[in-house]
Amino acid sequence: MNPLSRRTLLGAAVGTAAAASWPRSAFGAAPAGPLAAEITRRHDESLQRLQAWIREPCIAAENKGYDAGVPFFLQMLRDAGFQKVEQVPTSGKPGVFATLDAGAPKTLGLYFMYDVKQVDPSEWSSPPFEGRLVDKPGFGKVIVGRGAVNQKGPEATFLAALHAYRTAKRKLPVNLVLVAEGEEEIGSPHFGEVVKRPDIASALGKSIGIFMPSASQDPDGAVEMTLGGKGVIELELVASGARWGRGPSKDVHSAYRAALDSPAFHLVQALSTLVTADGSEPAIDGFADRARPLSASELQMVKRAAQRLSEAKQKELLGVKRWLHDEDWEHALVRLCSRPTVNIEGLVGGYTGPGGKTMLPTRTVAKLDLRLVPDMTADGALAALKAHLQKRGFGDIEVNMSGGYDPTTTPADSPFITAMEAIYRKAGVEPLLVPRSGGSWPGYLFTGKPLNLPAGHYGLGHGSGAHAPDEYLVIESSNPRVAGLDAAVNSHVAYLESLAG
């Protein structure tokens, strides 16, 4: 998988062009700030808390770890000072609703996920659920484990800031209202049930905005702030002889192909209509009709990003020689921010082992994700796909949507965002604003109706390997421009303090 979290899609290439002109920050030294000493004193405790959490994985796709992982997470929130911590049942895995009333005038919203992506342990150089500290050349000491950067590490970093207030016996400058889900990695299919519960929606509605803790720095220390994310639907298309009424209803010898239809080819023919003949663009009828081009100001952001981000570095990271249609860097970034997509995540059907097996399989599955931009909707995309298939004689193919949600957008001039920018600048980092990530997160639940709140990600620190082997987060940084754990905790303290001011 890619070495980047879905929330810092353009970030890893920030820097080479402009880094030299940035002020050097003091991240290599002890953090400054009102609670800095407390944070340093409690470094080991904060690290051990994260390690303990990594050892309690919840993986929705494998229905694994929830019995132990949910109570563990609830207790973490109580320990951090949330007075009310409630497990919220949904049609899927439980959500969480927690509040911390500090008696402050302002309330800050928080979005957490407590689940992690699947792993293939054989691909890891240290056990994925151990949280081992290792030396990573060029980075320093990093913690390796599933969730280290996506998203337990940054979340535990935020909780460490709360612990610092608590143990220093300082009043938190804002009240907190937190919602969390355990199905983010399968497309947040039931998180709406949490956010839309009337009392929870009401509590969130009183907040100034919602943020998710993030390790936002790239390996050079640069920070990219994305003002939104694409919507997404994830689904399986399943072609089967039984449902089609043609071809075999069980796997048979391939000799019969001469007199039988092939459900696998039926799926191939259906898939081939979903994109243009060269495979590049969505071709689902009506799918992209409501895709809105970037506004003039959004386009300006992307132009700036194209200047500041290193195309060569990004191409190297991705192992890519050419962008789609052989477009230039700026146009590739415009596409990332503004174009809907139809992607095959996986294909599986028939014999998949070594060599061949002369069979005519009855069932073949394509796993797809479709990314959506404003003003497209998840419901609209699903309906368009189904109608498209129906119209072309593929109505028998099952469309099993496993999760998805609408795009999300927060205005660049929201005070919630400008406050974050100010802290980054104070820390010596000039953040790069981009209108939208190429990836997705369910921020629409906050930014859409009825809440209409600003939402974003925030936090210093660096990690990588989300969804990939050897996912890591920098704990003790050897790069003076990259925050280690304590400096990252301090970035949260700084933000909380700024909100009070």
Q: Which of residues 5-44 bind a second copy (CB under 8 A)?
A: 6, 9
Per CB under 8 A, 290 contacts a second copy: no
- Which residue is it, tokens 């992307």? 302
Instruction: Report the distance separating Cα 246 and Cα 86, nearest Å.
Output: 51
Per CB under 8 A, 319 contacts a second copy: yes
Among 27, 82, 323, 444, binds a second copy (CB under 8 A): 323
Per CB under 8 A, 271 contacts a second copy: yes
The tokens for 446 are 């906050």
CA proximity to 13, closest of 310, 224, 246, 448:
310
Instruction: Report the distance separating Cα 351 and Cα 344, nearest Å.
Output: 19
The answer to whether the CB of 146 falls within 8 A of the CB of 466 is no
What SS3 state is found at 272? helix
Residue 268: what are its φ and ψ, rounded to 5°? -60, -45
Instruction: Report the distance separating Cα 19 and Cα 365, nearest Å.
Output: 46
**Which is closer to a second copy, CB of 86 or CB of 261?**
261
Per CB under 8 A, 52 contacts a second copy: no
Q: 328-331: long-range contacts (C-beta < 8 A, 24 or more apart)?
A: 330/302, 330/303, 330/306
Instruction: Report the distance separating Cα 213 and Cα 233, nearest Å.
Output: 24
In whole angstroms, the minimum distance from the beta carbon of 440 to a second copy comes to 7
Per CB under 8 A, 322 contacts a second copy: yes
Contacts to a second copy from residues 119-178, by CB under 8 A: none
235-254 mask for a second copy (x: CB under 8 A)?
xx----xx--xxxxxxxxxx
Per CB under 8 A, 62 contacts a second copy: yes
In whole angstroms, the minimum distance from the beta carbon of 132 to a second copy comes to 24
Per CB under 8 A, 371 contacts a second copy: yes
Per CB under 8 A, 399 contacts a second copy: no
Per CB under 8 A, 294 contacts a second copy: no
Per CB under 8 A, 187 contacts a second copy: yes
The span of 41-49, 97-105, 215-223, 268-276 binding a second copy (CB under 8 A) equals: 268-276
Per CB under 8 A, 310 contacts a second copy: no
Per CB under 8 A, 330 contacts a second copy: no
Three-state SS string over 149-200 comes to: CCCHHHHHHHHHHHHHHHHCCCCCCCEEEEEEECCHHHCCCCHHHHHCCHHH
The span of 102-110, 334-342, 412-420, 470-478 binding a second copy (CB under 8 A) equals: 334-342
The span of 108-116, 127-135, 191-199, 357-365 binding a second copy (CB under 8 A) equals: 357-365
Task: Name the amino acid, one letter, at 429.
Answer: V
In whole angstroms, the minimum distance from the beta carbon of 310 to a second copy comes to 15
